[in-house]
Structures are given as C-alpha cells and as structure tokens.
Amino acid sequence: MTSVMIVDDELFIVELYRDILQLRGYKVMITAFDGEEGVRKYSSAPEKPDVIIMDHRMPVMNGVEATKEIMRENPKQKIVFVSADVMVEAEARDAGAAEFLPKPFRMDDLIEKMERLSPP
C-alpha cells in the first residue's frame, strides 16, 4: 500500500484528497497545512511517505521552498506538485518535484500521477 503525505492550506482540499486516495487504496499518513509544517512533520516522521502531494501557494512557506527542504533531506522523495499557477512548473521541477498537476484537475489525473510514482 502506497503511503502519502498531503500538504495544502485548504482543509477541504486535504479532506477531499484523503478521502479519494483512501478509497483507491492509498494510506494517508501525514497531513500539513503550510510548507513549514510539512517540512517539520516530514523531518520528524519515523517512516517517510512514498509520495507527497504538495500545493504551491500556502502561508508561512510555499510549496517550492518546502519541496527544496524535503529534497535536501531525501533526494529520492517523490513529490506531485499541484498549482493553479502553471508558470511555477519549471521552478517546482527544478526544486525536485517528479510530477506537476495544474489546478483545477480531475481526480483521475491525480490518481494517474500517484500510480506513476508509487513503488511496485
């Protein structure tokens, strides 16, 4: 079962992702509501998630900065970066994001990215 961390400042989005991912057989092990909290929870987690879903625009620390911090700690971490700002895709990928999804997107598109990054 693929483990997931969700980092997004919108509670209803976190709950939506969590509910749909759990219905599809994923284990949501960590949630965070800004980039700084995401980095802190990731660093202190005894078991790292297989995949992180990272939002871009968040208070305290944005998704690009959080992605850079997480990738410094674990360069092999798989991150699906989501943003309404398609202009940030290159920056997100440079920071280490393996996949990019422009908002709004269909949940099937998220599941497809998750399947691509999930361990065999």
For each of the domains in the chain, give its residue range(s) and CATH number, in order of start.
3-46+53-99 (3.40.50.2300)
Calculate the average pLDDT of the chain: 96
Q: How much is the pLDDT for 51?
A: 98
What amino acid occupies position 46?
Answer: P
Its pTM stands at: 0.96
Q: How much is the pLDDT for 120?
A: 84
The per-residue pLDDT for range 16-72, each reduced to its tens digit, is 999 999 999 999 999 999 999 999 999 999 999 999 999 999 999 999 999 999 999
Query: d(Cα 102, Cα 81) in Å, to the nearest integer?
Result: 8
Handedness of CA 21, 25, 26, 31 (dihedral sign): positive
What amino acid occupies position 53?
Answer: I
HSE-CB of 67 using CA atoms within 13 angstroms: 30
